[in-house]
Structure 1
Amino acid sequence: MKLQSGVAEFGQLRDGIHRAVRPDGGRIFVKVRHDMPADFFLAEARGLAVLSSAPLRVPDVISVWEHGIALEDLGRGRASARDWENAGRGLADLHCSAGERFGLDSRGWCGDSTQDNTPDEDGFHFFAERRLLAQGRRAFDRGLLEHDDMRQLESICARLCEMLPKQPPVRVHGDLWMGNVHACANGELALIDGGAVHYGWAEVDLAMLTLFGEPPASFFCAYETAAKIDKAWRERAALLNLYHLLNHLNLFGASYLGGVRTVLRRYS
């Protein structure tokens, strides 16, 4: 995907969130940031394109340029129980789309952190090197983790295949906390903020949906029925969420250190 010029229409906007109305009456949601690299919003546009063929709704990308992205404004509503059930089935369908390798053909962004998506045929190696150790080394270099923390993290990474089941690479959102499951004006649930999209383990999406709050039980019931999996994924969620805890440690500081160390002690 190439950058589409948005400078003519939106180039003078200041950093932040903006809303506008198009001549045809359609509403636009515009995000602008001048402090991020040129591929930051491009990664979001690519990710939304990867997600767009799934039953779950995603906003249309109207324009993307070096410092911003203009999206369809989905409005804001309240999801019903049926909407949550539909979303559970939709996520299961999204995870049916398998890839040949883990990763993607370009780097992504998980929040404000770069995400190395270099393709890999081995899911355990991919998750260890591109996710856990990448964040761990970053935190150690910044003085946020100590030598003993890194020793425990490396021990976990060496034994991932003993603690996690072998899974194929499937299309995942990659940053699927509750804030990225958006209730549209009609109540339909949509996926937003696609910068972390890649081919990975389906359970990474399920796990993150339990990290900062979680959907109603009906969502998971619908997912588990459609995907034909059992509830054992919850037992592994804390280990999979270690990536996001490390990322939050790097982004927001020592308030996340206790959570990181709890997981390190549990699995090392």
Structure 2
Amino acid sequence: MTDTFTKSSANNRGEAAGLTWLGQATGGGGARVTRVIHVDDSVLEIERIKQTAPSPENARAFGRALAHTHAAGAPWWGCAPEGWIGPDYIGRSRTKLFPEKETAPTSFGQLYGEHRIADFAKRIVDRGLITAKEARIFDDLAERLIAGDFDSEQPKLVQDAGFDVARLHGDMWAGNVLYCGGPTGAALIDPMAHGGHAETDLAALAVFGFPYLEEVYAGYDEASPLADGWQGRSGLHQLGMIIMHAHLFEGHYVGWAEEVAGKYR
């Protein structure tokens, strides 16, 4: 009998759609994803992952598996997972987190500049956390992103599969990746799945730390070589998560977001 975990949120069906979408890649070598047992408007019941101690071997296995998850691809920048039903805004967002195909960005820079950096900068200004003058650091960076200054190639497996856009977990901090052993080393839970740049997931793992992270990166690069200079773009790809936290939780995240943005302005 499968051991399960039941949760409830306003986005049960959206989370279920993301898990199912990511899980489609598992049979092709992608990372293990907790299975959806049941979902309705009230509850989401998922497989409970039996965790194991982190190890270098599991970390490398997870890195290799994640490369294959990303290579399952996505149809456009910022797309929601297939079957998505749920909110596509966070809080008082003015820009859709998951743009529709007809209005989709045409590049990573446009997605990230408009729908992540500029949008969340506007929200933290509206909340009075920074002034419009102080927000200029984010606006300048968003302009550079939209201009394509930070666009880079996807990892090799994504390109080999014929995709410009990778299939992302989208909220890949340490708490959402559970070491569990087995062929893929770890399993994914709680996604904000969407189409984006593979480097964003990889960078997110470093925001709050992750055991044997360098081994994850080594396993990934072994399976799907990353574009030159990816390490130098890591902070940029972390900024979307950090500025979102600044909007949601305030505190030191605001200064942290400003510090990171200043490095790429």
Which of the five TM-score ranges fits, normalised by the shorter chain? 0.7 to 0.9
Structure 1 residue 80, shift from structure 2 partner = 3.0
Alignment partners' CA distance in 1, 2:153 and 2:226: 14
Gaps in structure 1 of 5+ consecutive residues: 1-24
Matched residue, 2:160 = none
What is the number of equivalent residue pairs in this alignment? 238
Matched residue, 2:23 = 52
Gaps in structure 2 of 5+ consecutive residues: 155-163
1:162 to 149, 157, 160: 149
Map 1:247-262 → 2, pairs under 5 A: 247-262=244-259
Alignment partners' CA distance in 2, 1:248 and 1:230: 28
Q: After superposing the two structures, state which structure 1 stretch, 199-208 or 128-137, moved more.
A: 128-137
Task: Decide whether aligned partners of structure 1 residues 29 and 231 sit closer, same or farther in structure 2, where only a CA change above 3 A counts.
Answer: farther
Alignment partners' CA distance in 1, 2:119 and 2:238: 14
Q: For residue 233 of structure 2, give the secondary structure of its aligned residue in structure 1.
A: helix
Map 1:215-234 → 2, pairs under 5 A: 215-216=211-212, 217-229=214-226, 232-234=229-231
Matched residue, 1:29 = 5
Alignment partners' CA distance in 2, 1:110 and 1:74: 29
Q: Check the 8 A contact 1:110/1:175 in 2, yes or no.
A: no
The structure whose Rg is larger is 1
Task: Decide whether aligned partners of structure 1 residues 71 and 111 sit closer, same or farther in structure 2, where only a CA change above 3 A counts.
Answer: farther
Structure 1 residue 139, shift from structure 2 partner = 1.1
Amino acid at match of 2:64: R
Q: For residue 74 of structure 2, give the secondary structure of its aligned residue in structure 1.
A: coil
Matched residue, 1:214 = 210
Structure 1 residue 230, shift from structure 2 partner = 5.2
Amino acid at match of 1:162: D
1:199-222: CA deviation from partner (whole Å, max 9, x where unpaired): 100110011111111341222111
Q: For residue 71 of structure 1, give the secondary structure of its aligned residue in structure 2.
A: strand
TM-score (norm: length of structure 2) = 0.81
Task: Decide whether aligned partners of structure 1 residues 87 and 185 sit closer, same or farther in structure 2, where only a CA change above 3 A counts.
Answer: closer
2:97 to 111, 116, 119: 116
Amino acid at match of 1:241: Q
Alignment partners' CA distance in 1, 2:88 and 2:174: 17
Q: Check the 8 A contact 2:89/2:97 in 1, yes or no.
A: no
2:172 to 167, 173, 176: 176
Alignment partners' CA distance in 2, 1:87 and 1:46: 22
TM-score (norm: length of structure 1) = 0.81
Q: Check the 8 A contact 1:209/1:215 in 2, yes or no.
A: no
Matched residue, 1:42 = 13
Matched residue, 2:127 = 142
Residue 241 in 1 paired to residue 216 in 2? no
Matched residue, 1:9 = none
Alignment partners' CA distance in 2, 1:185 and 1:239: 31
What's the Cα RMSD here?
A: 2.4
Alignment partners' CA distance in 2, 1:173 and 1:108: 17
Which has a greater percent of strand?
1
Structure 1 residue 254, shift from structure 2 partner = 2.4
Structure 1 residue 26, shift from structure 2 partner = 2.0
Amino acid at match of 2:215: S
